[in-house]
Amino acid sequence: MEIKDLKRLARYNPEKMAKIPVFESERMLFDLYALLPGQAQKVHVHEGSDKVYYALEGEVVVQVGEEEALLAPGMAAFAPAGEPHGVRNESASPALLLVVMAPKP
């Protein structure tokens, strides 16, 4: 059994959003995204993979398709395969997201 302390894995990079691998299998990815104020994940598309963003700390604006919404701790957003998606931290505080993708691209 693998157990990881997500808070201990979190690290922020002043240059760009940090994507921190937590678990990976042939079928899925489970990562942390650590965003300092002003950092973002560019809007992009995965044709064959669904993605879920779950806010652990801080707030981010998530975009899926043409829609945008604010994610606060405890909130999640679903980006189905083929839909453009991305996140950005417009707040004054760091943000930490749990991100799951399946199937693995």
Cis, bond preceding 73 (omega within 30 deg of 0): no
Q: Which pLDDT score, from 0 to 100, does residue 38 have?
A: 98
Give the CA dihedral 90, 91, 94, 99, nearest 10 degrees: -50
Over the chain, what is the mean pLDDT? Answer: 97
Q: What pTM was estimated for this model as a whole?
A: 0.95
Q: Alpha helices, DSSP H only, in the chain? A: 6-9
Render pLDDT for 28-77 as a digit per residue (tens, 0 to 9): 999 999 999 999 999 999 999 999 999 999 999 999 999 999 999 999 99
Mean pLDDT of 73-99: 98
Band of residue 82 on the pLDDT scale cut at 50, 70, 90: very high
Q: Is the pLDDT assigned to residue 105 strictly greater than 90?
A: no
Domains of the chain, earliest start first: 37-75+83-89 (2.60.120.10)
Q: What is the pLDDT of residue 97?
A: 98
